[in-house]
Amino acid sequence: MALPLLAVLLVGACAGAGAATPIRMFYTQDRPPYTYREQGEPAGPMVAVLQAVCAELKWRCEVRFLPWRQALARAEQGEADGLFTVADIAERRRFFHVTRPVLMARYALFARSGQAFVYKGPRSLVGHTVAAYGPSGTAQLLQELTQGLDVDVRVEPDNLTVLRRLGQGAYGPDGLALVNESTALTLLQNETLAPLQSAGVVRQLSYHFGLSRQRLKPAEHQAFDRVLAQLCRSGATADLLLPYGLPVAPCR
């Protein structure tokens, strides 16, 4: 059955790459400011970097948007050659070769406007209800932070649901949300949500591409990483990310 998804060829990396050139399928989610649709086509910093890598490798790359749970499950089952945007965590490395980092981000706690809470470490969460979206690196971090502590952890299907329910008081008067900081600020700017405020940065992280261990050979993983490294060292990655105002990851 055909997937009711947006499917757009990202690169005509090779105008002369005939039908014999296989399509490399990448799954992602609609998650501004990292990935989103612009005039019906995939856009955002991670898409821009993927375009550059695929062009250099002369791959015919296609991106499909899915809700994250579906994208993750189907990619783990080998339905896609790659998945993004991913954090470098053990659960991802089971199914994917996690590439070198592309850009940097931060996990932050958000509270309702006027709330006095300020994050001072995991024990400051005791007695609170804290929500995150999952399955994700965010939800895993929340589980790690609250292990053995009296914290009511909630996992929601997406970040918008987390922030909306937080603003509505669904997590109680002292409820909190653990969210990617840039994602939360973008949603607060673009969606109709109750006023929220940052309550402290929890951890810095990097974002990567995940390349399928089932569908791609180790040599293809290495080639992808090699191009990412070249783009970083040449300053091309920084130039690609500059219009988006997001920090590039250090070159390794």
Residue 130 has pLDDT above 70, yes or no: yes
pLDDT at 17: 43
Q: What is the mean pLDDT of the chain?
A: 91
* DSSP codes joined into one string, the chain: ----S-EEE-----TT--TTSPEEEEEE--BTTTBEEETTEEESHHHHHHHHHHHHHT-EEEEEE--HHHHHHHHHTTS-SEEEEE---HHHHHHEEEPSP-EEEEEEEEEETT------SGGGGTT-EEEEESSSHHHHHHHHHHTTS--EEEEESSHHHHHHHHHTTTT-TT-EEEEEHHHHHHHHHHS----EEEEEEEEEEEEEEEEETTTS-HHHHHHHHHHHHHHHHHTHHHHHHGGGT-PBPPP-
pLDDT at 252: 76
pLDDT at 13: 45
4 or 203, higher pLDDT: 203
Kindly indicate the confidence band of residue 5, based on its pLDDT and cuts at 50, 70 and 90: very low
pTM metric for this prediction: 0.83
